[in-house]
Amino acid sequence: QSALTQPASVSGSPGQSITISCTGTSSDIIAYNYVSWYQQHPGKAPKLLIYGFTNRPSGVSDRFSGSKSGNTASLTISGLQTEDEADYFCSSYTNIITIFGGGTKLTVL
């Protein structure tokens, strides 16, 4: 089964921007499918940040943005804030099946 690869951890300082990548192991898992991003704080349910590669649901800060290049999707967080420290997961939706990346822990130094 195809998989999504994310870096285990990233870090940044308040005010900086960081980018988290999500790479598909098969040629089309990212390129032709619907990618979403989620934020999860400890002990809480995940929160949808980005859908359809670049779209934000109502109420999500515009500091969060998504992009795609080839078989890699990316989540960029600008103007880092301490409350952004959390786990971030990407997902790909293909043929009704949803696959998640392993998650990235963001530390705000």
Q: By the criterion CB under 8 A, which residues form the site for another protein? A: 1, 34, 36, 38, 45-48, 51-52, 57, 89, 91-93, 96-103
Q: Residue 26: CB partners within 8 Å, gap ≥ 6?
A: 2
Q: How far is the CB of 32 from another protein (least distance, A)?
A: 13
Joined tokens for residue 7: 């870096």
For 80, the token pair is 């880092």
Find the shortest distance in angstroms from Cβ 98 to another protein: 4
Please state, in angstroms and rounded to a whole number, the distance separating the CA atoms of residues 62 and 95.
Answer: 30
Nearer to another protein, 57 or 70 (CB): 57
Q: Which spans in the chain are helix H?
A: none
Q: How far is the CB of 14 from another protein (least distance, A)?
A: 27
